[in-house]
Amino acid sequence: MNLYIMSRGRPGKVTTLASVPPSWMDRVCLVVNRQDFNDYRDAYPHMMIIQAPDTVTNYSQKFQWILDGLPHGPLGKADDKDKAVILDDDLVFSKKNEKGSLVTVREPEQLSAMFEQIQVLLDKFPLVGVH
């Protein structure tokens, strides 16, 4: 399973990356527009960055392009290369505490179980959402 973070115009400010557990970072790919590609490559030199085609001009088209034809293989293992988790670039994750209140997750490794559960659910269901 690969994590695709869609971003545009905010190189160096992809806050979602701060929530990705270190054990999942090798599965992350930033998907950006052509005009932003070099800036993202400079901001994240050790990260996989894929440039969307010029025909992809908005968020929903980028989302659909990832689902329909983005080559997932470079990041994933052969058996799970078709699993894609698509994330926005400005996400902050929370969980419920013992009182049922939402608290921001500050330690990314605490989210490993969530990503693992998504991976398992994608074996059974074609679409999985987290809210």
**Model confidence at 45, in pLDDT bands (50, 70, 90)?**
very high
Residue 29 and residue 7 in contact, taking contact as beta carbons nearer than 8 Å:
no
| pLDDT at residue number 71 | 53
Which contiguous run of DSSP H or E holds residue 2?
A: strand 2-6
Q: Which of 74, 107, 58 is nearest to 2 (CA)?
A: 74
Give pLDDT tens digits for 48-90. Answer: 999 999 998 888 998 888 887 665 544 544 445 568 889 999 9
Neighbouring C-alpha atoms within 13 Å toward the C-beta of 54? 1
Chain position carrying tokens 């996400």 = 91
Q: What does the pLDDT read at residue 59?
A: 87
Q: Tell me if 128 sits within 8 A of 118, measured CB to CB.
A: yes
DSSP 9-57: S-TT--GGGGGS-GGGGGGEEEEE-GGGHHHHHHH-TTSEEEEPPTT--
Question: In the predicted model, what is the mean pLDDT of the chain?
Answer: 87
Query: For residue 8, what is the DSSP state?
Result: -
